[in-house]
Structure 1
Amino acid sequence: METSSTTRLPNEILFNILSHFCLHCQDHYNQDWDERPLRAIKPCREEQQPNAKSWYSIERNTLFAACLASKGLRDIAQPILYHEFVLGYGDSWKSDLYDWGGRLISFMQTLARRPELCRQVKVVYINTRLFTSNDEGKRATLLEAARALKIDLPAVWKQRASNILASEAEDWPEVYSIFLSTYLDESRDWTEKQERRLRRAMDQSPAPAWRWLNSELMAMLIAQTHAVQYFSIQGNRTWPTNGLPESSLRSLGVVNLPLKTLDLGIAANSLIELAPTLRTLNLHDYSGDLSAWDTELPNLKTLRITNDYLSANTLRRLLDACTGGLVAFEFEAYKRVAESPRCGFEDYENYTPAPPHMLRDSHFQPSDVIKILQKHKNTLRILHLDLTNREYRTKKIPLDVNLKDFSTLQHVFINAFQLLGSEENIEIEHEVLIRLLPRSIVSLVIHRENFRRRCRVKEALFALADSKSRSPDHFPFLKHVACNLRKRSTTVSSLRSLFEPVGVEFCTRVESLNKLKPYLSGHNGSSSLGFPVFDDSSDAEL
């Protein structure tokens, strides 16, 4: 029974009240955290404590309660409740009190039974803690969701099994075809050898079959949420080595997704290909093969790539695909978490192996980026190029390469060694910044990697400050310069005294994109299979 106080409130007022508990309705995901220069944003709430309830679940409980209070409130609250599925978003995953079990399955089952709610889902964030348990409920959920979409999933999987891509079967080729052709089959008509192999793939570590099943659940969720605008997938060993199978989405009839923002911590080229409306693409520790990329991304404006490795050819393919003109290109190079374990595999969980394509170093050079970005010189506003982890493999930007033609470029982040080189005996080019930067520059951030390079950076900064002091029209829009020099040094004091009279702030705080990015928070990592799976010798006798 509804209380008199709620019945007197118009639905519009109730909607506004309840939407306060939805991050999507509050336009949270569109907040521009990437303002330049990069600075830590003060959080709007206290840090999540492990012994406290998840702040996100507390806010969602209000919507759940409204759905249960009355039919009138449910009709208003339920569409808001299903605007997003982002359990563990932000730092809420740190709560030890949160029960992750069955959350994803329950959500997918509800969408299968209430198809009108599928259109309400706008934001999905997949934290890998959703897959902490392996159970047959995943199989039942897949079949139920497929029936709601009028898809004969066992038949679809069998068809896929007849034409398997090598990349999809990498984790255990002999068993992957068995998994696709028999796992959903009610008759379970398999040979003794097939059954034993499949059981091993599900029961024995590293259990690749559960990884395959997780990726199929993800493909089905994408097929269900056909109106989603923002999709985010955290990466680690929850997934197959090569992430989302290329054949899974297309086999479910997914041909076009209205995505605007996509965060990927796993390989999922097919997901990018099916999103022509994509405006922001964030790739973190991305293992997908982009070397043959040929799909246009006409609406992409922001491309962020962190903890990764790209050859010049791959970079060219990606940037050439952005036919509508990039506004921001941001890159931070791959970094190993630890060197290869020295004593067996006891440190395996903390070991990040180098990607296969890094065995022969062909990573792009800074000059490659500038040349390839020429196609975007009339639209690019942000260039963030952090190659800190590749200092001694990176060449100095040559004298004949600069950013002068980039008429809209306002914000540049760059390493000192890209400007000045890493060799000790190299000749210092004092006016490198004056030669390199465009007239439109507003902020410049230089990351200095070691103490020895302090003098080189200092001379370049003094030359820039002197040029600006003598001719204020030189770089007329420049407002901010940062370099991580020693905060209380005489060099910093001198630079401030030169920059401040001409309206330029100088500071020593330099932030990395990887540290400040709000997307794919928590533990991300490689999806490479932990150990190779070998058949036992008895298989050969069957």
Structure 2
Amino acid sequence: MHNKWKNQRARKIKPVRFDITQLPYDVLYNIFSYFCVHCCSTIDPLSLGTVYHNAQEWTRQPKRRERWWLQARRILFSLTLSCKALHGPAQDVLYHDLTIGYNDPRLILDLKSEDHNRIFYGVNRHMCAMAAKRLRLFMRTAGERKDLAAKVQRLSIGSGFLNHLKPLQIRSLILQAAADLGIDLMAAWRRRLASLPPGSKILYSEILLAFPSPEFTRLQNRWSEWSRLRPRNANGIGHLLAELIAVLVKLLLNLNHLDLRANGTAFLEPSSFKALGISSLPNIRTLDMDEPANFLMNMAAGPQELRNLKTLRVSETCYGLETFREALSACSTDLRTFVYEAGGPVSCVKEGVTYTTFTAAGAAEALKKHHHTLETLHLDVSLSQYIYPPLEEQMRHFTLHDFTAVRHILLNLGLLFGDITL
């Protein structure tokens, strides 16, 4: 009797089969967003951390192990290929974020090496070649599929692999992207020559004349000779990389988060963007760079050009107060988060004693126009070898009393109380 009842119960209970493809689009989209760096903001600095501090946590991972977000992207990519029902939402999330050569431990070499070029670049050539190839493939896809390019909201480019791109490769990428955009690049560059300062005009005229012709190969060979003497060649390669970044920004019309590391950013010119028809960056809400002062001051002649900027993060660089003020003056009046992490000392000599020109009081004064909106303020100079001014000079006029919206604050004790030992 017991067995009969058991068999009847087993027949009544039917196994529940769950088919993920039957879920609504918005539910699938939310599930897949956990695999997207842009959506979950996992690699963003924590509320009470700094850019460099979090990067240090990331690099504790074994060098040869892939980052989780690289694995997550591979999962999304597999979903787009393996299932038609999941293709749409997986593809939409997959193209949210373009992260290349950024904080990948496989791009980091042992800095104890005696090879100075390897120390300087700090990257693995093979992995850089793979990252460069990925960028080339992405730009080709973005040029052919404007609908996919419009989905990209975050662009993060690391510093290592860009140096691995050869001038001819950069030239090919720029020309192809300009053709996809319907821009006569040579005509645009000829027009911009008239407005360039004399020093830059010589270099750009040389690039312009050689760019569309076989003469570019000869120019490339000369740059190769320069790069052997100076690994970070500022006379040609850096400007080409800046042009490449400008073209990439033009391709990605809906970009709202721009994260650039070092290479090319120091040479970004407003004429690079204007030649491509970019007069403003209204969609940019987050700017994360290690050398943003030139970029900001060049792109934001008026606050309307970066009118929606809400978050500015500056790391691994050093500012004096004057540069600090100029960079902040280029921001909109609606800044919500400001992170500054010094990468080296900026000092001056006063009465025979070397003092830093960066003070907490000066920083608060420079941020004064954002006192109604600023919610997060990080001023971190702990990694710099600063010689702090005397206590009374440091504390004079320093107050955050007017910053009524601030919620998270990180300030070094040295900025507040001078050079002290705990």
- Is TM-score (shorter-chain normalized) higher than 0.5? yes
Match in the other structure for 1:199: 221
Instruction: Find out whether 1:275 has 2:275 as its counterpart.
Output: no
Match in the other structure for 2:196: 164
1:67-92, Cα deviation, whole Å (9 max, x unpaired): 22244443332222211101344445
Residue range with higher mean Cα deviation, 394-403 or 213-222:
394-403
State the Cα distance separating 1:175 from its structure 2 match: 4.2
Instruction: Find out whether 1:394 has 2:389 as its counterpart.
Output: yes
State the Cα distance separating 1:217 from its structure 2 match: 1.2
State the Cα distance separating 1:243 from its structure 2 match: 2.3
Match in the other structure for 1:183: 211
Contact 1:85 1:125 in 2 (8 A): yes
Secondary structure of the residue aligned to 2:156 is strand
State the Cα distance separating 1:61 from its structure 2 match: 1.4
Superposed counterparts of 1:507-518, under 5 Å:
none
Shift of the 8–308 alpha-carbon distance from structure 1 to 2, 3 Å rule, reads same
The match for 2:171 among 139, 146, 164 is: 139
The match for 1:85 among 98, 109, 121 is: 98
Relative to its length, the structure with more helix (as a share) is: 2
Superposed counterparts of 1:116-135, under 5 Å:
116-131=147-162, 132-134=164-166
Shift of the 5–146 alpha-carbon distance from structure 1 to 2, 3 Å rule, reads same
- Structure 1's unaligned 5+ residue stretches are 286-306, 337-353, 423-447, 451-484, 486-542
Shift of the 256–407 alpha-carbon distance from structure 1 to 2, 3 Å rule, reads closer
State the Cα distance separating 1:410 from its structure 2 match: 6.0
- Structure 2's unaligned 5+ residue stretches are 1-17, 109-123, 349-353
Contact 2:35 2:76 in 1 (8 A): yes
Contact 1:262 1:280 in 2 (8 A): yes
Superposed counterparts of 1:8-19, under 5 Å:
8-19=22-33
Secondary structure of the residue aligned to 2:160 is helix
- For these two proteins, the number of residue pairs brought into alignment is 366
Give the Cα separation in 1 of the matches to 2:57 and 2:290: 26
1:409-450, Cα deviation, whole Å (9 max, x unpaired): 66655555555556xxxxxxxxxxxxxxxxxxxxxxxxx3x3
Contact 2:361 2:399 in 1 (8 A): no
Give the Cα separation in 1 of the matches to 2:264 and 2:328: 28
State the Cα distance separating 1:160 from its structure 2 match: 2.6
Match in the other structure for 2:135: 104
Superposed counterparts of 1:417-456, under 5 Å:
419=416, 448=420, 450=421
Give the Cα separation in 2 of the matches to 1:245 and 1:14: 42
Give the Cα separation in 1 of the matches to 2:50 and 2:313: 19
Give the Cα separation in 2 of the matches to 1:275 and 1:165: 24
Contact 2:364 2:398 in 1 (8 A): yes
Secondary structure of the residue aligned to 1:136 is helix
Secondary structure of the residue aligned to 2:196 is coil
Secondary structure of the residue aligned to 1:232 is strand
Residue range with higher mean Cα deviation, 145-154 or 4-13:
4-13
Match in the other structure for 1:149: 181
Match in the other structure for 2:14: none
Contact 1:47 1:91 in 2 (8 A): no
Give the Cα separation in 1 of the matches to 2:59 and 2:388: 41
Match in the other structure for 1:225: 252
Give the Cα separation in 2 of the matches to 1:39 and 1:309: 16
Q: Which has the larger radius of gyration?
A: 1
Match in the other structure for 1:308: 318
The match for 1:256 among 280, 302, 310 is: 280
Give the Cα separation in 2 of the matches to 1:163 and 1:89: 34
Q: CA RMSD in A?
A: 4.1
Shift of the 174–397 alpha-carbon distance from structure 1 to 2, 3 Å rule, reads same
1:489-529, Cα deviation, whole Å (9 max, x unpaired): xxxxxxxxxxxxxxxxxxxxxxxxxxxxxxxxxxxxxxxxx
Secondary structure of the residue aligned to 1:25 is helix
Give the Cα separation in 2 of the matches to 1:133 and 1:36: 33
State the Cα distance separating 1:310 from its structure 2 match: 1.8
State the Cα distance separating 1:256 from its structure 2 match: 2.7
State the Cα distance separating 1:233 from its structure 2 match: 0.4
Shift of the 215–418 alpha-carbon distance from structure 1 to 2, 3 Å rule, reads closer
Match in the other structure for 2:78: 65
The match for 1:212 among 225, 230, 239 is: 239
Q: Which amino acid aligns with 1:209?
A: G
Contact 1:104 1:130 in 2 (8 A): no
Instruction: Find out whether 1:33 has 2:46 as its counterpart.
Output: yes
Superposed counterparts of 1:378-527, under 5 Å:
379-380=373-374, 383-386=377-380, 389=384, 391-392=386-387, 394-398=389-393, 401-403=397-399, 405-406=401-402, 408=404, 413-416=410-413, 419=416, 448=420, 450=421, 485=422
Give the Cα separation in 2 of the matches to 1:42 and 1:200: 36
Instruction: Find out whether 1:21 has 2:9 as its counterpart.
Output: no
Give the Cα separation in 2 of the matches to 1:37 and 1:211: 28
The match for 1:74 among 87, 108, 123 is: 87
State the Cα distance separating 1:325 from its structure 2 match: 5.8
Secondary structure of the residue aligned to 2:402 is coil
Shift of the 212–373 alpha-carbon distance from structure 1 to 2, 3 Å rule, reads closer
Secondary structure of the residue aligned to 2:179 is helix
